[in-house]
Homo-oligomer: A and B are copies of this chain.
Amino acid sequence: MTETTTQHNKPAVDGITIDCVFFGFNKESLEVLLVQHAQGESKGKWGLLGGWLQLHESADDAAQRILQELTGLEDIYLEQLKAFTNPKRVLERRVVTIGYYTLVNREDYNIKASLKVIEAKWYKINEIPDLIFDHNEILDFSLLQLRNRVRQAPIGFNLLPEKFTLLQLMHLYEEILGIELDKSNFRRKVLHMKLLQALDEKQKDVSHRAAKLYKFDADIYKKLTEKGFNFEF
């Protein structure tokens, strides 16, 4: 009835893969990096970043490795979504995939430096094409999860550069949650949380009043959570 029962010795799967929804935020829109498949029955179609889970590694490690191989980035913020196990998700074979989503700062990611071999492209969240396998389902699930998590913990900052303005932050939340926010009320709320560190710096090269720059301080957040702090948006 559990792993010690050797009733079914033959594995019920041909393998386990990892698939990552790779989120980035560009100006005012949330985007996902997709790669084009060059071979096999799915030639020409777009899909999520993925690879095989190896014998010796955990899924988290596998995801970091695969993303490093594909994009060159290390220590990316990522969270597991869940296992996708529909027996018909891949034709002919039984492949279970473990879905992830990752949040990256677009400034850290240089599309030319990486993915030389494969065609890669950013897609706006509401302009996603038909993807291979069940990748559309994984992507839809990741969006729900992101919208949930972003209200409960300050993970959205991973999508922004280190220094950002309050309005940038607000636009990020507007885009992710699909709502409109009031500038004044948003400022009050977010500053009241005392999660942000105000910098002695302002925007440059903007054709309007330069906004103050802030940075998210993980240490402050840590201290606040220890005191029983709740991030609610």
A-side interface residues toward B, CB under 8 Å?
1-5, 7-9, 11-17, 19, 35, 37, 39-42, 47-60, 66, 70, 80-83, 85-87, 90, 93-98, 118, 132-133, 148, 152
Contact present for B118 and A35 (CB under 8 Å): no
Give the number of copies in the complex.
2
A1 CA to B14 CA in the complex, in Å?
A: 16
Report whether B50 and A1 are in contact in the complex, using a CB–CB cutoff of 8 Å: yes
Scoring A7, A37, A82, A152 by chain B CB atoms within 10 A of each residue's CB, the highest score goes to A82
- Pairwise interchain contact B13-A52, C-beta atoms closer than 8 A: no
Q: How far, in angstroms, from A115 to B55 measured CA to CA in the complex? A: 34
Partner of A12, one of B4, B16, B118: B16
Give 6 CB contacts A-B under 8 Å: A5-B39, A11-B11, A11-B14, A58-B87, A80-B83, A82-B82
- Which residue of chain B is the closest to A79 with respect to CB atoms? B82
Closest B residue to A149 using CB positions: B148
Known: A13-B11, A14-B11, A52-B12. A3 touches B85 (CB 8 A): no
Q: Is B82 in contact with A58, judged by CB distance below 8 angstroms?
A: no
> B53 touching A12 by the CB < 8 A rule?
yes
Residue contact B54 to A8, C-beta cutoff 8 Å: yes
CB atoms of B59 and A83 under 8 A apart:
yes
Given A8-B52, A52-B7, does the pair A17, B39 have CB atoms closer than 8 Å?
A: no
Contact B95 A1 (CB under 8 A): no
CB pair B15–A2 under 8 Å, yes or no, is no
Contact B90 A133 (CB under 8 A): no
